[in-house]
């Protein structure tokens, strides 16, 4: 039966005996393969390796004994240079040990020269090429399976990222609804509380004037007045939080506003062993924002960082322009580079970051930080409204306020503000924001 192979097989024959090489070539002409295989004959391993560097082969036939080198040695060298062609060993010895050695080394088949014929040479070649074809199919299937697995892994990761974004969006909606609900509640309740509180405060002050000669009673009056002032502080915070007046957006320099707040707080931080590091982008454009409200945000975040570093540390305050770009459902954030060509379709944002080396925040508290009345400070040191007010102010600027923290390793609060309303924006940023 004739076997048709297209194109013809290229067979590398490594045989140091010229008579044996002639015999094999002669037998090859008798095998039932069409077109006739092309025999590439060399007499030693070095020539075989040199040939393989430039010529691909479909099958190798090695003499098991090649002088000082064995066919097994040559097989290992051939595999090292990347040749995966099937290998058939030929030897004048027909003992079982040699056959086992050959097959263990990775040979596809083993033939003895004493019993060599066109028929068994043909069978061996057909067996070797069939195994090679099956191996190639298996590798192709494995590669396709690997690609499918990689695709599924990527799809799973993208789905996970989408779910995380959806969860973050839902959390922000819930947080905004909570803030709005508390604001509406506070607006109605605060005035009802302030009226009787003012009456109580007035009576206490009158009693203080009448009983100023009673020291023990005066101590009680002072204690009551301190609690009244504490209530007034809480109500004042609630009123600020619930107030609905319009934001006053005017062109200003964000670095200058940060510097003004740091000037008020830095001396006290230095006394507490806290070093302040400024990493301001001096080329920032002026843009419109409510400077008074923004200073309130900066002061709150700086004070929180100071309280978190009660044993000293470093507060790094930085500003820079970043570009936020969405492609294929993924959001990318990158520093602004006027010489880069990757800005098309991206939106410019001002990134303000407060990074401290304090005690950090427990993971379970991260999602609660911006909720009204949530605080990790002692009862007499915080009302739990500071970050809620900050979040509300940044939200009214169409910006984002985010926090990252690992407990014991500090915290990073990041503000991102759109600068489409900048008044001295570089032309590239302006064109991006308009698009």
Q: Could you name the CATH architecture of 3-116?
A: 3-Layer(aba) Sandwich (3.40)
For 152-173, give the DSSP string: HHHHHHHHHHHHHHHHHHHHHH
pLDDT in tens, 36-73: 888 899 989 889 999 998 899 989 998 888 877 888 88
Domain 250-434, CATH number (from 3.30.565.10, 2.70.98.10, 2.60.120.10, 3.40.190.10)? 3.30.565.10
Class of residue 1 by CB neighbours under 10 A (exposed 0-12, middle 13-18, buried 19+): exposed
pLDDT in tens, 316-336: 999 999 988 877 667 778 887
Q: Which residue has the higher pLDDT, 109 or 424?
A: 109
CA torsion, points 43, 46, 49, 53, in degrees to nearest 10? -110
Cβ neighbour number for residue 330 with a 10 Å cutoff: 11
Count helices and strands (H / E) in the chain: 10, 17
Q: How far is Cα 215 from Cα 212, in angstroms, rounded to an integer? A: 7
Which two three-digit tokens encode residue 229? Answer: 């002032």
Which two three-digit tokens encode residue 62? Answer: 């090695």
CA angle 267, 353, 307 (to 5 degrees): 45
Run of H or E including 412: strand 411-418
pTM exceeds 0.75 for this model: no
Q: Sorting pLDDT into bands at 50, 70 and 90, what band is 426?
A: very low
Q: Which pLDDT score, from 0 to 100, does residue 302 have? A: 93
In terms of Cα–Cα distance, which of 381, 393, 386 is closest to 369?
A: 386
What are the backbone dihedrals phi and psi of residue 94, each rounded to the nearest 5 degrees, phi first? Answer: -115, 20
Return mean pLDDT, the chain. 80
Q: Sorting pLDDT into bands at 50, 70 and 90, what band is 94?
A: low
Mean pLDDT, residues 171-177 taken together: 61
Categorise residue 363: left if φ over 0, alpha if ψ from -120 to 50, beta otherwise.
alpha
Distance of CA 60 to the CA centre of its chain: 48
Which two three-digit tokens encode residue 39? Answer: 């025999």
Are 313 and 356 in contact by the 8 Å Cβ rule? The answer is yes
């Amino acid at each position: 039966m004739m076997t048709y192979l297209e194109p013809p097989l290229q067979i590398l024959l490594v045989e140091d005996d010229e008579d044996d090489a002639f015999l094999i070539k002669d037998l090859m002409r008798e095998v039932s393969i069409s077109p006739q295989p092309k025999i590439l004959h060399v007499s030693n391993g070095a020539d075989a390796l040199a040939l393989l560097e430039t010529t691909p082969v479909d099958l190798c036939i090695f003499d098991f004994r090649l002088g000082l080198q064995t066919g097994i040695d040559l097989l290992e060298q051939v595999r090292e240079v990347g040749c995966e062609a099937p290998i058939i060993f030929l030897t004048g010895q027909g003992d079982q040990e040699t056959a086992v050695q050959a097959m263990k080394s990775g040979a596809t088949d083993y033939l003895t020269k004493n019993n060599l014929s066109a028929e068994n040479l043909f069978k061996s070649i057909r067996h070797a090429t069939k195994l090679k074809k099956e191996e190639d199919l298996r590798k192709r299937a494995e590669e396709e399976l690997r690609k499918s697995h990689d695709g599924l892994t990527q799809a799973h990761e993208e789905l996970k990222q989408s779910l995380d974004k959806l969860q973050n969006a839902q959390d922000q909606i819930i947080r905004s609804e909570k803030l709005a609900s508390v604001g509406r509640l506070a607006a109605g309740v605060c005035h009802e509380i302030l009226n009787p509180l003012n009456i109580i405060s007035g009576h206490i002050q009158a009693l203080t004037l009448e009983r100023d000669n009673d020291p023990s009673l005066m101590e009680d009056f002072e204690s009551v007045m301190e609690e009244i002032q504490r209530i007034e502080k809480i109500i004042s915070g609630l009123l600020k939080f619930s107030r609905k007046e319009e934001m006053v957006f005017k062109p200003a320099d964000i670095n200058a506003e940060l510097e003004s707040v740091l000037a008020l707080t830095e001396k006290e931080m230095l006394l507490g062993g806290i070093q302040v590091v400024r990493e301001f982008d001096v080329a920032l454009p002026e843009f419109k924002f409510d400077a008074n409200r923004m200073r309130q945000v900066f002061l709150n975040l700086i004070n929180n960082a100071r309280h978190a570093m009660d044993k000293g540390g470093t507060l790094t305050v930085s500003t820079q322009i970043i570009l936020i770009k969405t492609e294929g459902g993924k959001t990318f954030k990158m520093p602004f580079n006027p010489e880069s060509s990757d800005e098309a379709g991206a939106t410019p944002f001002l990134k303000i970051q407060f990074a401290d080396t304090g005690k950090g925040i427990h993971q379970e508290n991260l999602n609660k930080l911006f909720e009204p009345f949530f605080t990790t400070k002692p009862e007499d040191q915080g009302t739990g409204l500071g970050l809620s007010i900050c979040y509300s102010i940044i939200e009214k600027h169409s910006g984002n306020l985010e926090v990252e923290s690992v407990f014991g390793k500090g915290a990073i609060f990041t503000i991102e503000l759109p600068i489409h309303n900048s008044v001295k924006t570089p032309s590239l940023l302006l064109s991006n924001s308009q698009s």
